[in-house]
Amino acid sequence: MKIAIIVVSIIALALAGLSLYLLSASRKTHDELMARISGLEEQKILLTSELEARVAEVSQEKEDEIARLKTTYETLVADMQDEIAQGQIKITQLADRLSVSMVDKILFPSGEANITPEGLKILDRVGSVLKNTEDKIIRVEGHTDNVPIHPNLQKKFPTNWELSAARATNIVRFLQDKVGIEGTRLQVIGMSEYSPVASNATVAGRSQNRRIEITLLPEVAGELPEVVK
């Protein structure tokens, strides 16, 4: 009996000791977890503060960029009042993008890609303003209506693709060679008849579709800016 009592007592003491150990270990683990949670909370607060500061910085940069572009817009509008009043040029600004749309007849003879003397003067005025913009890609797009190229011109321009691309290319070469805009800022796109702004069913609509669009786009490192219509 005494031996049994002793054994039971030893077991009870062992269990008590084990319980104390487990309780101590549990408290230690709990304290460690709470310390880690506290550290993560501090890190979260720091990262949130840094993110808010960066967002504010980027927002200010974007506001400054839009303000600079607005100045460019206002300069172009003031310089092109007559052409705008005659419906030959349309200038629009959407946030950090600016577009100058010109009907083809003020730049090119019908069915041709060589720029007229009057067209060169207009492009020089537009280009001189755009040259002073910062951190902007200058994209030149050629657009046509859906009327097929006249048979007499098909050896030179088999389709509207070739005509639209040739016109845009000649404008870009002028902006680079004569106005002095860096080639790294210039892009050429021939859109043919596939991005109309009006119906090709009417004479007035086809006239609007035959156009050149010069668009200022934000520079994007390592990739081309998307086409926005």
Question: How much is the average pLDDT of 35-49?
Answer: 73
Q: Locate 70 and state its tokens.
A: 């607005």
Question: How much is the average pLDDT of 72-76?
Answer: 94
Instruction: Say which residue, 67 or 51, is predicted with more confidence.
Output: 67
CB proximity list for 84: less than 8 A, separation 6 or greater:
77, 90, 91
Q: What is the pLDDT of residue 96?
A: 84
Question: How much is the average pLDDT of 65-78?
Answer: 90
Q: What is the pLDDT of residue 222?
A: 41
Instruction: Tell me the pLDDT tens digit for each residue of 121-170.
Output: 999 999 999 999 988 999 999 999 999 999 999 999 999 999 999 999 99
Query: SS3 for 167?
Result: helix
Q: What is the pLDDT of residue 228?
A: 44
Domain locations along the chain? 1-66, 80-218
Q: Residue 132 to residues 76, 118, 156: CA-CA distances in angstroms?
A: 12, 23, 35
DSSP 16-73: HHHHHHHHHHHHHHHHHHHHHHHHHHHHHHHHHHHHHHHHHHHHHHHHHHHHHHHHHH
Q: What is the pLDDT of residue 200?
A: 97
Task: State whether CATH 3.30.1330.60 applies to domain 80-218.
Answer: yes
Separation of alpha carbons 132 and 36, rounded Å: 54
Check pLDDT > 50 for residue 92.
yes
Check pLDDT > 60 for residue 18.
no
Per-chain mean pLDDT for the chain: 85
Element of type H or E holding 4:
helix 2-79
Instruction: Say which residue, 191 or 218, is predicted with more confidence.
Output: 191
Separation of alpha carbons 98 and 96, rounded Å: 7
Check pLDDT > 60 for residue 224.
no
Q: What is the pLDDT of residue 223?
A: 45
| Residue 24 banded pLDDT, cuts 50, 70, 90 | low
Separation of alpha carbons 216 and 137, rounded Å: 6
Check pLDDT > 60 for residue 33.
yes
Check pLDDT > 60 for residue 4.
no
Separation of alpha carbons 8 and 133, rounded Å: 91
**pTM, 2 dp:** 0.72
Q: Give me the numbers of helices (H) and strands (E) for the chain, helices first please.
A: 5, 5
Element of type H or E holding 191:
strand 186-192
